[in-house]
A and B are shown apart, each in its own frame.
Chain A
Amino acid sequence: MLEKKQTKEMSHIVGTFLVSANGAFLNGAGIDTSGEDRTSVIPKQFSNGKYRVPYVSAQAWRRWLRDTLIEETEWPKSTLHAIKQSERGTTSKIAGELNPIDYPEDDLFGYMRSEEGQGRTKKAEEESSGEEESSGEETQQRIKVKALIRASPFMSSILVSLRKFGWKGKDEGFVHLEEGTPVPYSTVFYNTNLQAIFGLDMTRAGVFRNVGDRIELREELIKPGTESGKLKEREKDIYELSDSNAAKIRAGELLHAISILRGGAKQAAFATDVSPKVLILAGLDCGNLILNNIFEDNPDQASHDGPNIKVETLKEIAADYADRLVTPIYIGIRKGYLNLENEKTIRTLANGDSRFVVDTPINITKAFVSKHLGYDRDKTAQ
C-alpha cells in the first residue's frame, strides 16, 4: 500500500515568469528557406495548430541561466572536457565536470555520460545466463556498463510567446562594401512577451541516488567525498551533501539568477533585457507545476498596454492548492509593465491576504529565499 505523506515540508519550488521581448531575436532557427532569397534569418517558431508561434528553446535559456548563475556566484564552472578519444586521437565524447559535490552547476542542472559497450557486456551476460543465475563475475561485468546520468533537479519549459500572431517584424539591412553592390540581409524578430514555467525539486538538490540504471554520482567521488566530510550516505546507495544548508544556498542562488537573468542571441543588434518583468514563485509539498498559463496577452494590440496576469486564475490556484502550498504565492512585478488596471489589482492582492506577497521580481526572490530557504544572500556577501 502506498504511504501518504504526513508532514508538509517544501519539496518543490515552482514558478513562472514573463520576459519582455519587444524588438527581440533571442534564439535563431537559421536561414529562412521558405522563400526564394536566402538572406533572412528567422527565430525559432512552432505551429500551435493555427499560427506560427515564436519560442526560445529550454536549452538556450538554461544556458543563459547557467552563465548568469556562475557569473553571479563565482562558483567553479563545470567546463566541458574530453572524456573519450577515438582511435584517430580525436575527441569522441565530452562532458562537464560530472561532479555535483564540488560543482553546484552539475548538482542543479544534471549531466549525462553515456557508455559505449553496453550491448557487448549485455551479450556476454546473456550467454552466461543459461548456466547460472548470477555469479560474482557476472555482477562485476554488469557494473562496467554503468551510465552516469543525473536528471536535472531544475526543470524548465521552453520560453513561449504570449502573442500568437502579429508578432513578426523584419529588419532589412545591407552590408555596404567599398566596391560592388551592397549585400542585403534581413532578420525576422518578434514583438511579444515570452513566458516559461519551471520547477526545482528540493528533495533532489544535493542528493545523489545510485539506484536502478541511473548512477548519479561517480563511484570514484564517493570515497574522497565521505573522507573529506563533504558527503554522507543517507541510506544504501543514496548520498547527500553533509552540509544541510548547501542545497538551500544552491537553490537560493539559482532563484536569484532567474530574477536577474541575462543572455540571448543577437544582443548587439537587439539588446533585449531578458530579466523577468514578472516572476511568480511558490513552495509546494509536491511536484505539480501549478503556476502555469497565468499570463495573457493584451487583446488590443494597437494599444500600449502590457500583458495581464490572470488574477482570478491565481486566486483559484491559491484556494484549490491551499493544502499543497507551503509558502505564500510570491508575485514580483516590474512597475509600469503590466496593463495598468491589472497591475493595480495585483498590488491590492496582498492587502490583508497572507496567501500573496507582492513586490519587485528581485525583492520577492530575496524574501522567498530568506524566509523559506533560510539564506540571506546580502548578509553572506558582506
Chain B
Amino acid sequence: MDKLIHATIRGITATFRIPLIVSGKSLCAPVPSYSTLLGFIGCCAGREVYPDEVRIGFEYRFGEGTSGAGLGVDMETTHRFELKDDRLRPHPKGTSIRFYEFHAYPVLELYLDNMDFFDILMQPAGIPTFGRSQDLAWIERVEKVDVEQKPSGKVCTTLMPFPQEAVGGRMLRLPEFFDNKKTGVTRDPMNIRLFQVIPTGSIIVNPNLYHVKTDEDDDHVIYLHKWAGIDGKE
C-alpha cells in the first residue's frame, strides 16, 4: 500500500458514548470507535459500509486551546407523563433531566486505504455526525497522500487493540462493527474486543504503521486498523 485518503473533519461538538453505561451521566469516550467511523463513512456513502471494504486509521483531538480539553455536559429535559382517568397528564414530579458529556471543537484526521471513498468523502450522500444527531460534522479537506510502511513510530491520539506493549491508555471494550443486514432486527455488534486509547506521542511498534511521506516529522506514523475478521472471528 503506497497511498491513503486523508480527510480532515471538524465539528462543534462530539458525543462518542461509552456503551453499557446506562445510568447517571452518559460518558463520552476519548476517541471514536471503529464502528462509529464505519457508520460515519456509511453516512457519507449513503449505505452500509463493512470492514471488508476499507481499512481505517485516525487521529482525534478536541478543544480549542492547547492546554486542557474542551468538555461539556449537556442536559436534556425528559418529559414524564402519567395516565389518569384515561388522559395523559404531566407527571406530578415534573420533568426529569438527563446528562450527556460531550467534546467541544473535535477534529478527526481520517485515513482510508480504499481510493473509491475519495469521491464519497468529497460528495457525502448524508450529513455526517460525530455521535448524536446534533453533533454535526463537516469535511474540511480530502486529499490523497503517499505513505510508506514503518515498523515503529510516534502516533497521535488513536485507538488500537489491547495490549500495546509499554504504552498506557484507557481500555474500552467495543465492537469493531455492527451487522445490520437483517431487516427489522436490531443490528448485531461484531468482534467485541478490548481496545486501548493510545495517547499522543506514544512510541508504537506494530506492523500496521504508515508514515505520510510529506509529513515533516519523520517519526510520525498512522495506525491503520487491522480488522479482527468480518465473520466475527480473529
Could you list which residues of chain A lie within 8 angstroms of chain B, going by C-beta atoms? 1-2, 4-5, 11-12, 14, 29-30, 44-50, 53, 55, 57-59, 80-82, 85, 89-91, 94, 110, 118, 122, 142-143, 145-147, 151-152, 155-158, 160, 197-199, 201, 203, 210-213, 215, 237, 285-290, 292, 324
In the complex formed, the residue of A with least CB distance to B139 is A288
Partner of B127, one of A143, A147, A287: A287
In the complex, the answer to whether A158 meets B13 with C-beta atoms within 8 Å is: yes
In the complex formed, the residue of B with least CB distance to A89 is B83
Interface flag for B206 (CB, 8 Å): no
Return 19 A-B CB contacts under 8 Å, by A number.
A48-B104, A49-B68, A50-B64, A58-B133, A91-B81, A145-B186, A147-B186, A151-B133, A156-B134, A160-B12, A197-B12, A198-B136, A210-B184, A212-B48, A213-B182, A213-B185, A286-B125, A288-B123, A288-B139
Chain B residues, CB < 8 A from A57: 74-76, 134
Interface flag for B137 (CB, 8 Å): yes
In the complex, the answer to whether A29 meets B65 with C-beta atoms within 8 Å is: no
Interface flag for B120 (CB, 8 Å): yes
Interface flag for B129 (CB, 8 Å): yes
In the complex formed, the residue of A with least CB distance to B12 is A157
Chain A residues, CB < 8 A from B214: none
For the complex of A and B, 6 pairs with smallest distance between CB atoms: A46-B72, A49-B63, A58-B134, A49-B65, A50-B65, A286-B123
Chain A-chain B contacts (Cβ-Cβ < 8 Å), number? 170
Q: A44-B75, A90-B83, A210-B183 are in contact. Are A59 and B65 (CB under 8 A)?
A: no
Chain A residues, CB < 8 A from B127: 12, 14, 155, 199, 201, 287-289
In the complex, the answer to whether B120 meets A2 with C-beta atoms within 8 Å is: yes
Distance to closest chain B CB from A266 (angstroms): 15
Interface flag for B82 (CB, 8 Å): yes
In the complex, the answer to whether A155 meets B129 with C-beta atoms within 8 Å is: yes
Interface flag for B181 (CB, 8 Å): yes
Chain B residues, CB < 8 A from A201: 126-127
The A-contacting residues of B in range 141-155, CB under 8 angstroms, are none
Could you list which residues of chain B lie within 8 angstroms of chain A, going by C-beta atoms? 10-13, 43-45, 48, 62-77, 79, 81-83, 88, 97, 102, 104-105, 116-117, 119-120, 122-129, 133-139, 180-187
A245 to B69, CA, bound (A): 47
Chain B residues, CB < 8 A from A143: 184
In the complex, the answer to whether A47 meets B104 with C-beta atoms within 8 Å is: yes
A213 to B179, CA, bound (A): 10
Q: Which of B12, B88, B105, B181 has the most CB of A within 10 A?
A: B12
A292 to B138, CA, bound (A): 8
In the complex, the answer to whether A158 meets B134 with C-beta atoms within 8 Å is: yes
In the complex, the answer to whether B186 meets A213 with C-beta atoms within 8 Å is: yes
Distance to closest chain A CB from B144 (angstroms): 16
In the complex formed, the residue of B with least CB distance to A214 is B180
In the complex, the answer to whether A81 meets B126 with C-beta atoms within 8 Å is: no
In the complex, the answer to whether A46 meets B123 with C-beta atoms within 8 Å is: no
Chain B residues, CB < 8 A from A29: 75
A90 to B71, CA, bound (A): 37
Q: A2-B120, A48-B104, A80-B81 are in contact. Are A157 and B136 (CB under 8 A)?
A: yes
A4 to B67, CA, bound (A): 42
In the complex formed, the residue of A with least CB distance to B63 is A49
In the complex, the answer to whether B184 meets A146 with C-beta atoms within 8 Å is: yes
Q: A286-B124, A287-B126 are in contact. Are A53 and B76 (CB under 8 A)?
A: no
Chain A residues, CB < 8 A from B65: 48-50
Q: Which of B12, B116, B136, B184 has the most CB of A within 10 A?
A: B184
Chain B residues, CB < 8 A from A213: 180, 182-187
A14 to B136, CA, bound (A): 11
Distance to closest chain A CB from B125 (angstroms): 6
In the complex, the answer to whether A48 meets B105 with C-beta atoms within 8 Å is: yes
Q: A91-B88, A157-B136 are in contact. Are A324 and B74 (CB under 8 A)?
A: no
In the complex, the answer to whether B124 meets A288 with C-beta atoms within 8 Å is: yes
Q: A49-B104, A213-B185, A288-B124 are in contact. Are A82 and B136 (CB under 8 A)?
A: no
Chain B residues, CB < 8 A from A11: 125
A80 to B82, CA, bound (A): 12
